[in-house]
Amino acid sequence: MGYLFVGPFIHSKSFDDLECIEEGFIAVDDDWVVDGSDNDVTTCQIIGMGTAADLPSWRQKQWTYEEIQLTKHQFLLPGFVDCHIHAPQMPNIGVGLSMELLDWLKNYTFPMEDQYKNSQFAAYVYEKVVKRTLASGTTCASYYGTNHKDGTLALAKECIKQGQRALVGKVSANQSTVDYYKETTEESIRENKAFIDEVNALNSDLVGVTITPRFALSCDEQLLKELGKLAKEHNLNIQTHISENLGEIAEVKKVFNASNYASVYDAANLLTSKCVLAHGVHLEDEEIALLKERGTSVAHCPSSNTNLQSGLCDVIRLRNGGVTVGLGTDIAGGSDVSILTTIRDALAVSHHLNFAKKQEIKGTGSVSPEKDKQKKINKEYVPLNYKQAIYLATLGGAEALNLSDKIGNFKVGKDFDALLIDVKADPIDVYEPSIAGIKDKPENLLERLQKFIYTGDDRNIVKVFVKGNQVK
């Protein structure tokens, strides 16, 4: 059975190329051979897309389909990709955000995550997490679990049950954390191996494993290297944190006697083309060059970087340095599960950086007056724009997670992970002067997209599809 969606759609072809089709269509089917493919399509993949001019020929093709006509206020977007989210921290959302990172971890995060040794509690929370993220348009997430294998397995099972695409990681930590929430190296590797086997036994094409050292300070050199070996042996994704907080960076250099943060992961063979590093706020130039060389990506987490006072990450600098970037909500450092909110925060952070680079801002209480005197005004800097932010939330995220062959846009042959957006739904009010007899040009597709980005929420995401299956 196929589906023929008729109406507007928007997707990113690259960072600077957002395609907007006002009158178009997308055809999906679960029993079709895509031109040039050696294998039959076994899931709802995109078999065609284009403008209204191409639509008649698709209606005449010999295939069984349901036609879905979009209204003038609706359009299709690719599903959102959350490259960095701590599922067990959801109960803490909005709490403790007056603290900086390391104090916040000790006072709020570790005590909460320790509760997931109770698998019943884990299953209870994770059912809510997956439901909430799907409702917010997250069709794919890279989830951190906890140190507990069984509790994290409950997260993988819940993603499968509700139909969400996900990478799920059992967190590894054998040092520099509270005593009650710590593993030995042997325990961590044994439990990781068992977790890999048990997730593979679920036989899901939606959910995979990602190796997850919490961050450099939580793992000694031996554990980091063993995790690097495990990822290579099983060809797995890797996720961890880097250069989030200045105090964290100083401690990493001290503990590992390292010249910079990235070199610690590189020594353990963790910087691969399947690795995504969260934050990267304070990366040095040589670290950016190393990430480019290794093909390692960054998950930009503007909400938590602001909430935990970590800093302003310059996405344009990372992109110009050749690093792939996606977005992460980073719950519960981030205070909203929605990637839509993260898009807004990413745009705000980029604009704040633009102010700092171009203006002599008074009254900022600078802690380094001498450096400020030497500051060079960069009038050439161009901040992130809303079209590029859509890329970060969709195709950029897919590229960061090494999944862009399957998802990220509406290219023929990819899975149909999509959002049906309606800007006439609350909280957006639609104004139609024609009702009063006033002639006015209707909003175009880009204007409707901007309204969704800046004023919309989950109520405007009226349907969510993962692999062609409607999950909202």
Secondary structure in 3-state letters for 309-347: CCCCCCHHHHHHCCCCEEECCCECCECCCCHHHHHHHHH
Task: Report pLDDT for 436.
Answer: 64
Mean pLDDT comparison of 37-41, 45-49, 297-301, highest-scoring range = 297-301
Which two structure tokens, joined as six digits, stand for 402? 């090494």
Measured CA distances, 244 to 157, 266, 295, 368, 449 (Å): 31, 17, 20, 21, 31
Nearest CA to 421 out of 20, 18, 76, 4 is that of: 76
Task: Report pLDDT for 430.
Answer: 79
For the segment 253-279, the average pLDDT, to the nearest whole number, is: 98
Task: Report pLDDT for 425.
Answer: 86
Distance CA 256, CA 107 (A): 25
Asked if pLDDT for residue 35 goes beyond 50, the answer is: no
Q: Are 424 and 73 a contacting pair, CB within 8 Å? A: yes
Torsion of CA 240, 245, 247, 253, to 10 degrees: 50
What does the pLDDT look like over 454-468, one tens digit per residue? Answer: 999 999 999 999 999
pLDDT band at 470 (very low <50, low <70, confident <90, very high): very high
For the segment 187-213, the average pLDDT, to the nearest whole number, is: 98
Task: Report pLDDT for 367.
Answer: 42
Task: Report pLDDT for 327.
Answer: 99
Task: Report pLDDT for 460.
Answer: 98
Q: Are 182 and 173 a contacting pair, CB within 8 Å? A: yes
Q: Are 199 and 208 a contacting pair, CB within 8 Å? A: yes
For the ranges 29-43, 81-95, 423-437, 440-454, the lowest mean pLDDT is seen at 29-43
pLDDT band at 101 (very low <50, low <70, confident <90, very high): confident
Q: Give 431 or 333, the one with higher predicted confidence.
A: 333
Distance CA 75, CA 428 (A): 15
pLDDT band at 236 (very low <50, low <70, confident <90, very high): very high
Provide CB contacts within 8 A for 352, sequence distance 6+: 312
For the segment 203-219, the average pLDDT, to the nearest whole number, is: 97
- 367 DSSP assignment: S
What does the pLDDT look like over 135-151, one tens digit per residue? Answer: 999 999 999 999 999 99
Task: Determine the 3-state secondary structure of 412 from DSSP.
Answer: coil
The domains found in the chain, sorted by start residue, are 2-78+408-470 (2.30.40.10), 80-400 (3.20.20.140)
Q: What is the DSSP string of 158-177?
A: HHHHHT-EEEEE-EE--SSS
Provide CB contacts within 8 A for 24, sequence distance 6+: 6, 7, 8, 9, 49, 50, 51, 52
Please give the mean pLDDT across all residues of the chain. Answer: 92
pLDDT band at 397 (very low <50, low <70, confident <90, very high): very high
Task: Determine the 3-state secondary structure of 214 from DSSP.
Answer: coil
Task: Report pLDDT for 40.
Answer: 40
Asked if pLDDT for residue 299 goes beyond 80, the answer is: yes
pLDDT band at 64 (very low <50, low <70, confident <90, very high): confident
- 377 DSSP assignment: P
Kindly report the pTM of this predicted structure.
0.94
Say how many C-beta atoms besides its own lie within 10 A of residue 434's C-beta. 9
Asked if pLDDT for residue 364 goes beyond 70, the answer is: no
Task: Report pLDDT for 371.
Answer: 53
Q: What is the DSSP string of 96-122?
A: STTS-HHHHIIIIIHHHHHGGGSHHHH
Task: Report pLDDT for 372.
Answer: 54
Task: Report pLDDT for 268.
Answer: 98
Nearest CA to 193 out of 219, 217, 168, 211 is that of: 211
Asked if pLDDT for residue 374 goes beyond 70, the answer is: no
Distance CA 261, CA 249 (A): 6
Match 């890999």 to its residue by tokens: 196
- 385 DSSP assignment: -
Percent of the chain with pLDDT over 70: 92
Distance CA 6, CA 80 (A): 21
Nearest CA to 412 out of 56, 38, 36 is that of: 36
Distance CA 7, CA 67 (A): 11
For the segment 334-342, the average pLDDT, to the nearest whole number, is: 97
Which two structure tokens, joined as six digits, stand for 286? 């040589």
For the segment 378-407, the average pLDDT, to the nearest whole number, is: 95
Task: Report pLDDT for 377.
Answer: 67
Asked if pLDDT for residue 357 goes beyond 90, the answer is: no
Instruction: Identify the H or E element spanning 4.
Output: strand 2-6
pLDDT band at 427 (very low <50, low <70, confident <90, very high): confident
Task: Determine the 3-state secondary structure of 210 from DSSP.
Answer: strand
Task: Report pLDDT for 52.
Answer: 92
Instruction: Identify the H or E element spanning 206.
Output: none
Task: Report pLDDT for 450.
Answer: 97
Q: Are 78 and 449 a contacting pair, CB within 8 Å? A: no
Distance CA 263, CA 256 (A): 10
Cα four-point dihedral sign 131, 135, 137, 139: positive
Task: Report pLDDT for 22.
Answer: 96
Asked if pLDDT for residue 379 goes beyond 90, the answer is: no
